[in-house]
Amino acid sequence: MKVNNTNHFGMRYEKWKILGKLTTRSNGQTEDAIINILLSNRNVVSKKDKNEFFKPKKPDDVTLKEFGVSKSEINKAIKRLTLALKRKQKVIIYGDYDADGICATAILWECMYKIGFDVAPYIPDRFSEGYGINSERIKNLKLKNKNLNLIVTVDNGIVATEAVRLAHDLGIDVIITDHHTLGKEKPRAYAIVHTTEICGSGIAWLLAHELTRKLKTPSRSASGSESSPARGETLSDRRHNSKLITNNGLDLCAIGTIADQMPLIGINRSFAKYGIEALRVTKRPGLIALFEIAGVKVGLSGWQIGNYEINYLIAPRINAMGRMENAIDSLRLICTSNKARASELASILNRTNLERQRVVENVVIHAREIVAKNGFGNVIIVSHASYHEGVIGLAAGRLVEEFHRPSIVISKGEKLSKASARSIQGFDVIRVIKSMSKIIVGGGGHPMAAGFTLKTLNIEKFKKQFERKARTLLTADILSKRLKADLEVHLTNLKPTLFDKLEKFEPSGIGNPTPTFMSKKLNLLSVKMVGNGGKHVKLRLEARGVILDAIAFGFGDFFSDLKTGSKIDVIYNLVRNDWHNNVKMELSIRDMRINNS
């Protein structure tokens, strides 16, 4: 492993880090060597790991131990659910308002309703109720449902000690299914199905799978029912056909896994791979309507959907409802069997997402002005009363992208303020936030992202303490904006047969990034600005007689620095360019630098 320490770093990144080195020169051996380096960089080394990487286990074949789930806890959960079915007790599935939480809720609701449970989903309102199960909502649910004896949380609940205690006092058992970081005290729930290895949708799928397996044959079809995935309401257009349950929810599990940024290695790779296969041939009217309005293309093998489409086209529209209004329409969309209703709901999600984009942009512009005026050190913390609390996480993420600093954006309230944090690799933001429990009111999250509440009068105190704690943890190395490449190759190594092998690394994402290469001293034959307003740059590059086209998205500002006849170093991904049935391989440039030495 080596770090490039030349004095001319890239146009976008301060440092380039090359993870592997190619030692063989034979073309036949070179391809195998490249693949082995790529696998090694992803900690896929043993023969067994390699086989499972390219041919992942089906989730049905994964053991509870591999999921990281306690067998005794899941057995307790199934025992309690079986009792609820036998006694016809009311069950509430208490979900969350993000894409993972919505998909998890849909997976478990579909399974339980099909089996014959008296079950209704509940999605809390971000603004009036906040994240996770809470005491006030439990009281209201019990008042409305006298026969409510069991609540199952999905994608939340692991830190809800007070709410679970109140539920017990009201005669309600709670089964927690969650993947978030444990708090200091475990809730005293009937059962806790918890693991950080998979997302909320993954745990919901696992519970649904085990429940179906234990109960063998469903007692009722969901077809013709009037039960609604809408806070327990009864709506005729919510009639759900059991045929819509594609691969028992694996289609939704892929959305939750990728949207929640789970590492696509091991079981999460299985969820992503087989879930994406299900999504490509989905029969759900809601997803089809969403794909159409989002611009997902149709190919010979079905919808052309993968990591990119889920991350940037599908999940943002599902998330938009929970960020701007109420997420129940996202759940309705996923579960509806009515095509007209699906089209109507997809339009609502799309319009809401456009509004979400506008609001995020306003917050980012304002936050950027504050940073420009006050400067920043190791972290960025901004607060204002105008910040919409539904988008502060997205705004924090944008600040991280721009400044490469852990960022916290706070929506200032009169007495209480909501905050959202996003981090950089090497800095566990939730750990630091939890160490400040005397200042914050409550919160949770992951090492890279967290949300919490604090008293408005404590904002400045929080800022000073957080900055002080971060100062001791954030080294110059962590704060350096660097770009990683798997290895250095020559253009002569880039054969079509290699490209075919690289496609087997899909689905790519966190933990399994798209294979990335670096090549030195390429001759710049031509360069031109392309795209609306000249935002992008199109190049033609050559080395040892091999000529390839390249596209550098967002590099329009660097156009004047790129002179024909220069030599450049580039870090890039290989992509397939299919234009008017003319298929060719080209480079998608991540960063570049002039190298005329």
State the CATH class of domain 61-337. alpha beta
pLDDT at residue 519 greater than cutoff 70: yes
User: Tens of pLDDT along 41-54?
Assistant: 999 999 999 999 99
User: Tens of pLDDT along 407-445?
Assistant: 999 999 999 999 999 999 999 999 999 999 899 988 888
Residue 24 banded pLDDT, cuts 50, 70, 90:
low
HEC secondary structure over 260-319: CCCCCCCHHHHHHHHHHHHHHCCCCHHHHHHHHHHCCCEECCEECCCHHHHHHHHHHHHH
CATH of 2-41+482-594, one of 2.40.70.10, 2.60.40.650, 2.40.50.460, 2.40.50.100: 2.40.50.460
The arithmetic mean of pLDDT across residues 26-39, rounded, is: 83
The arithmetic mean of pLDDT across residues 59-74, rounded, is: 94
pLDDT at residue 300 greater than cutoff 90: no
User: Tens of pLDDT along 368-411?
Assistant: 999 999 998 999 999 999 999 999 999 999 999 999 999 999 99
Buried b (16+ CB within 10 A) or exposed e, 38-75: bbebbebeeeeeeebbeebbebeebebeebebbeebbe
pLDDT at residue 260 greater than cutoff 60: yes
Mean pLDDT of the chain: 90
| pLDDT at position 181 | 83
Residue 81 banded pLDDT, cuts 50, 70, 90:
very high
Rg, Å, the chain Cα set = 25
Q: How far apart are CA 296 and CA 303, in angstroms?
A: 7
| pLDDT at position 566 | 95
Residue 163 banded pLDDT, cuts 50, 70, 90:
very high
Q: Is the pTM of this model over 0.85?
A: yes
| pLDDT at position 167 | 97
| pLDDT at position 302 | 93
Residues above pLDDT 90, as percent of the chain:
82
Q: How far apart are CA 106 and CA 253, in angstroms?
A: 10
pLDDT at residue 225 greater than cutoff 70: no
E strand or H helix at 178 = strand 173-178
Question: What are the residue ranges of CATH 2.40.50.460 in the chain?
Answer: 2-41+482-594
Residue type, 521: K
User: Tens of pLDDT along 457-496?
Assistant: 999 999 999 999 999 999 999 999 999 999 999 999 998 8
Tokens of 39: 């696998």
CATH 3.10.310.30 fits 356-479, yes or no: yes
Pick 222 or 91 by higher pLDDT: 91
Question: What are the residue ranges of CATH 3.10.310.30 in the chain?
Answer: 356-479
Residues above pLDDT 70, as percent of the chain:
92
What does the CA dihedral 575, 581, 584, 590 come to, rounded to 10 degrees?
-30
Tokens of 89: 């007790």
Question: What are the residue ranges of CATH 3.90.1640.30 in the chain?
Answer: 61-337
User: Of the ranges 2-6, 23-27, 501-505, which is most confident?
Assistant: 501-505
Q: Is 296 left (phi over 0), alpha (psi -120 to 50) or beta?
A: beta
- Of 12-26, 274-288, 329-343, 552-566, which gets the smallest average pLDDT? 12-26
pLDDT at residue 211 greater than cutoff 90: yes
